[in-house]
Amino acid sequence: MVIRTYPQGSPDDWESPSVGTSRSGTPGRPLSAVVLAAGHGTRMRSARPKPLHRLCGRPMILHVLDALAELPIDRVVVVVGHRAEWVTKTLIDHAPPGMSIEFVEQVEQRGTGDAMAVALTGLPDEDDGEDGDVVILPGDTPLLRPGTLARLVRSHRGTDDAATLLTAVLDDPTGYGRVVRGRDNAVARVVEQSDATDEQLEVREVNTSMYCIKRSVLAPSLRRLSPSNAQGEYYLTDVVEVLYEAGHRVGSVVVEDTMEVAGVNDRAQLAVAEAELRHRINERWMRSGVTMWDPETTYIDVDVTLATDVVLLPGVILQGACVVGEHAEIGPDTRLVDTTVGAGATVASSVCRRSVIGPDARVGPFSVLDEGSEVTAGGRVGPTASDPDPGSR
């Protein structure tokens, strides 16, 4: 069932030399993507759908779409199910600019294979006779880097395999589907943990649930799936064996950083993913000219903008779409939410929500700026201010 179409610009604007160009920008084959986000996420123990749990200020699934936005994708199909309207509205409001999204609903949760069959209804017909490729991703892998996705697509097209899996080699593969090799070292099967033999459980190479598959072989393979497994579901992973037994070659790309493919299924895993993403954000800002006295106690959301020579003292939390100007000093122990700080301003040991702090202003220590507050350029707010009525609120 198609819920809604959300066009945002033209795929002509999305060229990536490392992968090829989009449908209208030959020579690259058409490239579409499917994001599977229909599950209940019961282990999160939350009324909020799992794909909408936040990491560094953004819902988890938006991090996945951000990674896809770096590829020359013609269309993204998002499969929704649990709390479908909530997930759909969030993506409509916040999806990356230029991304064309189609939403389809998996009404009954019958496994990832069934979800992929539903997703095909949202993909455009291949009416020009040109075989395209489909990138398939779960909606709960927010640490995936665009470069890894590009490498997957590049390898898939370079070998001309029917399908290419992104795999990982883990010290402890418990809970993951094991990759079983066949003739010519091709991937022959993916065996889920609950269906694996003792010998197969010893395999350390695992499936990450991320694929690039030729569009022409996808639908016929899905029609041959069967729910004859321990879970009684249609496994998307069974497509691998279907293709292999039909004589097609299935390849693989081993991810270099296994953190990229870590799924988030509960609050503990959410915290681990948050810590990893915050480390990446802090490192990027420090390499861009921001000073952090203690990166371990500095928390910056993904939509924050910092100018050069900003200084962040220990205990700083920047949430939402904060903007901090050059030479401003924030902290210690300061929390800003959707707040703009002008160049040269100082904010110490304070909390400011949706406020504007002018250039060279001073706020704190121990001040609170409520929503809509404004401190004029050079203004003073706090117990150390000499002006009894500094700035304007």
* Catalytic machinery residues: 43
Centre a 10 Å sphere on the Cβ of residue 328 and count the other Cβ atoms it contains: 24
Which residue blocks in the chain are alpha helix, DSSP H? 60-68, 84-94, 112-119, 146-159, 198-201, 215-223, 238-245, 267-287
CB 342 within 8 A of CB 358: yes
User: What token pair was written down for 40?
Assistant: 């209940």
351 Ramachandran zone, left/alpha/beta (phi>0; psi -120 to 50): beta
CA-based R_g, the chain, Å = 24
Return the closest-CA partner of residue 240 out of 155, 196, 179: 179
Return the closest-CA partner of residue 338 out of 386, 382, 305: 305
CB 315 within 8 A of CB 299: no
DSSP state, 124?
A: P
- Identity (one letter) of the amino acid at 270? L
Burial class of residue 309 (count of CB atoms within 10 Å of its CB; 0-12, 13-18, 19+)? middle
User: What is the sign, positive or negative, of the torsion defined by CA atoms of 219, 120, 64, 194?
Assistant: negative
Return the closest-CA partner of residue 75 out of 135, 156, 146, 142: 135
In 3-state terms the chain splits into helix, strand, coil percentages (rounded to 5) of: 30, 25, 45
Return the closest-CA partner of residue 266 out of 11, 43, 63, 98: 43
> How far apart are the C-alpha atoms of 290 and 27, rounded to whole Å?
41
Provide the b/e sequence for 215-231 (b: ≥16 CB within 10 Å): bebbeebbeebeeebee
